[in-house]
A and B are shown apart, each in its own frame.
Chain A
Amino acid sequence: MSQWKNFSKGFIKENPVFVLLLGMCPTLGVTSSAINGLGMGLATAFVLVMSNIVVSLVKNIIPEKVRIPSFIVIIAAFVTVVQLAMQAYLPSLYKSLGLFIPLIVVNCIVLGRAEAFASKNNLVSSAIDGLGIGLGFSFALVLLGGIREILGSGKIFDITIYPENYVTLLFVLSPGAFIVLGYLIALINRIKKN
């Protein structure tokens, strides 16, 4: 039961984007479509799970004072793995996510979980925590990307919903990212209150 709670907290209660307001750059930068959001979310989730596992394994070996730089190197290694794998197998997604793939390394969520959770808990809880937060992050990105794609290009996952003549292009451009996220956070706050 408690592991289930540990996993599910990432979706609403401690959602990294909507509640903790972490990882805003990729959240706003790549969500011009739902599929980009999903790709980014899963890439981040992979890095989160792997770095949480490794950090929880080596937490007793690393001296207290150099723990943050060590965590960053561990994270950077997995980001490089994702970067190279994506370049090889999903070149079109890699192209549309662009700069934001190497920037997973500076995503506050990943370092935040390593520092706040994995460095204090055992392997299994850390892996589950990473998976929960990572999927919660993906959920937020897909939601935001989906809304922007529907409003801004009339499609979702390449399925046309309404003709292109009626779209509001603004929502796939940068102002739309800020505005949609603003209203989504307001909505989530309201849901959490009830």
Chain B
Amino acid sequence: MSYLVIVIGAILVNNIVLMQFLGICPFLGVSKRISTAIGMAGAVAFVMVLATIVTYLIQKYVLDNFGLAFLQTIAFILVIASLVQMVEIILKKVSPPMYQALGIFLPLITTNCAILGVAILTVQKEFTLVESVVFSISHAIGFGLALALFAGIREHLDMQDVPKGLKGTPIALIAAGILAMAFMGFSGLV
């Protein structure tokens, strides 16, 4: 039951992008086409779950053990940076077209606040390891959902007659606002 609460809470109620404002850069940057959006969501999901597990273990067995909690930010960002490097190397070998499509945004996962944000939230909420994994997977799904929905909206927006001054980013942000309004309907679900 408590796992279900975590899952629904993370995907719908406290959606990481639309309600918590984490990971806005890829949300605006790679959401022009659904295919790229899904690729990005996959890369983020993979890094997010791995990073949460590794940072959880580091927090529990290294930082807490030796009273080094103040080094949290530095330690976590280093772990995430090296994980991203690893994913980049693997993706380059396994799927070159996807590597090309994600281009500049892959190294930018390092500076994607969604990853570090979820890692820190997990520690703050004092989850167990299993709960942390569920928490990070749900957040990754929530990120993918928001990104895919938004990419779908933007594909249609391209064909619409938008007022000249609002073209590009402004109309995208306003559309995101309306999408966030829709997600507010889920509040109170858990």
| Interface positions of B from 147 to 169, Cβ below 8 Å from A | 165-166, 169
Residue in A68, A73, A84, A189 whose beta carbon sits within 8 Å of that of B165 in the complex? A189
Check if A62 is an interface residue, CB within 8 A of chain B: no
Check if A25 is an interface residue, CB within 8 A of chain B: yes
Task: Compute the total of residue contacts between A and B using a CB distance below 8 Å.
Answer: 118
Interface pair B116/A174, CB less than 8 Å apart: no
Check if A131 is an interface residue, CB within 8 A of chain B: no
| 9-residue interface stretch from A3-11, A122-130, A155-163, A180-188 | A180-188
Residue in B73, B107, B171, B180 whose beta carbon sits within 8 Å of that of A79 in the complex? B73
Interface pair B113/A182, CB less than 8 Å apart: no
Interface pair B73/A174, CB less than 8 Å apart: no
* A99-B121, A102-B116, A106-B110 known; A175+B25 contact, CB < 8 A: no
Q: What separation, in Å, do the CA atoms of A100 and B180 have in the docked complex?
A: 20
| Interface positions of B from 63 to 108, Cβ below 8 Å from A | 70-74, 77-78, 81, 107-108
Report how many residues on chain A are interfacial, defined by Cβ distance under 8 Å: 40
Check if B178 is an interface residue, CB within 8 A of chain A: yes
Interface pair A178/B70, CB less than 8 Å apart: no
Interface of B is mostly: helix
Check if B20 is an interface residue, CB within 8 A of chain A: yes
Q: What separation, in Å, do the CA atoms of A108 and B177 have in the docked complex?
A: 22
Residue in A29, A108, A182, A186 whose beta carbon sits within 8 Å of that of B25 in the complex? A108
Interface pair A102/B72, CB less than 8 Å apart: yes
Check if B12 is an interface residue, CB within 8 A of chain A: no
Q: What separation, in Å, do the CA atoms of A77 and B71 have in the docked complex?
A: 9
Contacts of A168 in B (CB 8 A): none
Interface pair B73/A105, CB less than 8 Å apart: yes
Check if B11 is an interface residue, CB within 8 A of chain A: no
Q: What separation, in Å, do the CA atoms of A29 and B14 have in the docked complex?
A: 13
Check if A48 is an interface residue, CB within 8 A of chain B: no
Contacts of A12 in B (CB 8 A): none
Min CB distance B95 to A, Å, is: 24
Interface pair A105/B28, CB less than 8 Å apart: no
**Residues of B participating in the A interface, judged by any CB pair closer than 8 Å:** 18-25, 28, 70-74, 77-78, 81, 107-108, 110-113, 115-117, 120-121, 124, 165-166, 169-174, 176-178, 180-181, 184
Q: List 14 A-B contacts (CB under 8 A).
A: A25-B24, A29-B21, A72-B81, A76-B77, A79-B73, A99-B22, A103-B120, A105-B77, A106-B113, A108-B111, A173-B184, A178-B173, A179-B174, A189-B170
